[in-house]
């Protein structure tokens, strides 16, 4: 039985587009762009190895992804205050008990252990706080689907802003194919960043909304 041709045995992949749109990064010596591929075909949007059906794309936009510095600072101050109050209460309690107890060595040992635990906790709180405070902001392009999935990529500001219009044009014109290069977004912990829209609301009452994180 004759074997199938080699090209028919390969898995489906986004087809290359001969011409690159304006604003895309330069090509490498091998003729292929370096970085993360973002490709639009007639019915699919590829972001690296992830694929999104175009009919499920709800929104494409750019925004600045900022760390939760304010929330991290408030949480750090709250933790620090609770720790100091706990140590102060233990000091008062130990001093009161020592005045009426003969077994002072045991109480002193427990107090030393509590102080060491408090110091270790404060060090952990400081490191956790600094991790968020020193985290960089990122300008990103987001592709939201009708479900709960969102693709985030980063890159040069002007390039990502132009890419929003290019993707919108490709969605409106099914015969248009697009392939550009973007940078992969790398963050240590997504919980340290604000995701979603920033809304300023003035006046009104009983306002109802959705909180995203």
Strand order in the sheet with 57-65: 50-53, 44-47, 36-40, 178-184, 150-154, 138-145, 57-65
pLDDT digits (tens, 9 = 90+) for 190-213: 888 887 554 444 444 544 444 443
pLDDT digits (tens, 9 = 90+) for 3-28: 444 444 444 444 444 344 444 444 43
Q: Tell me, what's the pLDDT at 113?
A: 84
Backbone angles phi, psi at 125, to 5 degrees: -65, -40
Q: How confident is the model at residue 175 (pLDDT cuts 50, 70, 90)?
A: confident
For residue 154, list its beta bridge partners. Answer: 140, 183
Mean pLDDT of 125-145: 92
Please state, rounded to an integer, the average pLDDT across all residues of the chain: 76
Share of the chain above pLDDT 90, in %: 29
Q: Tell me, what's the pLDDT at 190?
A: 81
Is residue 176 helix, strand or coil?
Answer: coil
Q: Tell me, what's the pLDDT at 76?
A: 95
pLDDT digits (tens, 9 = 90+) for 36-95: 889 888 888 888 888 888 888 888 999 999 999 999 999 999 999 999 999 888 888 777
Is residue 194 helix, strand or coil?
Answer: coil
Q: Tell me, what's the pLDDT at 148?
A: 75
Give the span between the Cα atoms of 39 and 54, in whole angstroms: 11
With a CB cutoff of 8 Å and minimum separation 6, the contacts of 57 are: 45, 143, 144, 145, 146, 171
Q: Tell me, what's the pLDDT at 69?
A: 93
């Amino acid at each position: 039985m004759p074997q199938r041709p080699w090209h028919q045995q390969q898995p489906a992949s986004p087809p290359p587009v001969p011409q690159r749109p304006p604003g895309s990064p330069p090509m490498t010596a091998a003729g292929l762009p370096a970085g993360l591929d973002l490709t639009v075909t007639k019915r699919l949007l590829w972001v690296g190895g992830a694929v999104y059906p175009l009919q499920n794309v709800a929104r494409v936009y750019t925004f600045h992804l900022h760390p939760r510095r304010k929330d991290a600072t408030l949480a750090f101050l709250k933790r620090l205050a609770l720790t100091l109050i706990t140590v102060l209460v233990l000091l008062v309690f130990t001093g009161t008990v020592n005045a009426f107890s003969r077994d002072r060595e045991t109480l002193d040992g427990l107090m030393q252990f509590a102080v060491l635990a408090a110091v270790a906790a404060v060090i952990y709180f400081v490191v956790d706080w600094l991790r968020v405070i020193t985290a960089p902001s990122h300008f990103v392009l987001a592709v939201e689907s009708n479900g709960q999935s969102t693709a985030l990529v980063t890159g040069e500001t002007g390039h990502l802003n132009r890419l929003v219009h290019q993707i919108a044009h490709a969605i409106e014109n099914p015969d248009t194919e697009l392939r550009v290069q973007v940078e992969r977004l790398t963050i240590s912990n997504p919980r340290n960043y604000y995701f979603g829209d920033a809304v300023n609301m003035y006046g009104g009452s009983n306002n109802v909304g959705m909180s995203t994180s």
